[in-house]
Structure 1
């Protein structure tokens, strides 16, 4: 059975549902610090969500993906970070995450992005063209879990820094 998935930009009315989906999506993930919902909120407050999309199935919000600017130590511009990406647990493994990633990458490319980086599962992200690139590193992350995708097949030699919102680790007051 194939789902009728609608991907669209987030709206102000989506923020509570995005929070809840993100919490649920990462709740049982052992490698998570369980701060992803705070990262999304901090990116939103900092106006650093370059692309923020939601997935709907039958009018229900079931997924979210965020892309934000990253800094490269060599000064290269136009690169973005993917994440977090969240899908409601009861809707995982049904193509929703794939749809969000593909649409998000397409929109980034249309915006003139040069590339995208992420921290993720080594068996999942290569299907989208992401590769481990020795010339790009992220401090504190093992190379097998750090991925990059270039839209023009060139890769800078640099250390990547994600937006400061990725240090968000406190709950709202």
Structure 2
């Protein structure tokens, strides 16, 4: 398998939509709107980082990163997600490679940190942890995770871009 991680191109947009929809089709704990979220982030110019994973010329994965707001006014924090890998390609390291590449690019941009909503058992391997002083409303606290690239984690409530409410 020759895996290539690269920035999305305009030619990838339809394939990203389809693979994101497929990746979350049978996923539990989702409203199945992830493909609409990615489209809405792109339309709003809020995709800070958008990477695709390609194997043998076909897109098999995607990760989106966008700015988040923190109620304390701290800036330069980002939200990771959705991250998608086609079901038949999961558990092959594609998602991990997308994650590591996205985090490396965030650090290179001078980001202070990154948050996400997800399974702590999975995302802890990348350094994500729950922090009591940084919260996200209407979600069990243990599923809101952060990774600080500096020495401190801001205090406050995080808000993802309004595109995360996209329904279609």
Q: TM-score range by the shorter chain?
A: over 0.9
1:23-38 to structure 2, matched below 5 A, reads 23-38=21-36
1:143 maps to which of 141, 144, 168 = 141
What value does the CA root-mean-square deviation take over the aligned residues? 0.6
Q: What is the rounded CA distance, in whole Å, between the counterparts of 2:86 and 2:155 in structure 1?
A: 36
Q: How many corresponding residue pairs?
A: 168
In the alignment, structure 1 segments of 5+ residues that lack a partner are none
Aligned to 1:124, the other structure's residue is in SS state helix
Aligned to 1:34, the other structure's residue is in SS state coil
Q: TM-score, structure 2 length as denominator?
A: 0.99
1:63 is matched with: 61
Q: What is the rounded CA distance, in whole Å, between the counterparts of 1:30 and 1:100 in structure 2?
A: 21
Matched, 1:96 2:80: no
Return the offset for 1:153. Answer: 2.7
Return the offset for 1:36. Answer: 0.2
| Poorly superposed stretches of 4+, deviation over 4 Å | none
1:79 is matched with: 77
Return the offset for 1:141. Answer: 1.1
Q: What do residues 58-102 of structure 1 show as CA deviations (whole Å, max 9, x unaligned)? A: 111100000000000000010000000000111000000000000
Return the offset for 1:30. Answer: 1.8
Q: What is the rounded CA distance, in whole Å, between the counterparts of 1:30 and 1:102 in structure 2?
A: 24
Aligned to 1:144, the other structure's residue is in SS state helix
1:97-112 to structure 2, matched below 5 A, reads 97-112=95-110
Q: TM-score, structure 1 length as denominator?
A: 0.96
Return the offset for 1:169. Answer: 1.1
Q: What is the rounded CA distance, in whole Å, between the counterparts of 1:23 and 1:89 in structure 2?
A: 11
Check whether the contact 2:120–2:128 (CA below 8 A) recurs between aligned residues: no
Matched, 1:48 2:50: no
Q: What is the rounded CA distance, in whole Å, between the counterparts of 1:115 and 1:34 in structure 2?
A: 27
1:12 maps to which of 10, 14, 29 = 10
2:161 maps to which of 160, 163, 167 = 163
Q: What is the rounded CA distance, in whole Å, between the counterparts of 1:85 and 1:167 in structure 2?
A: 16
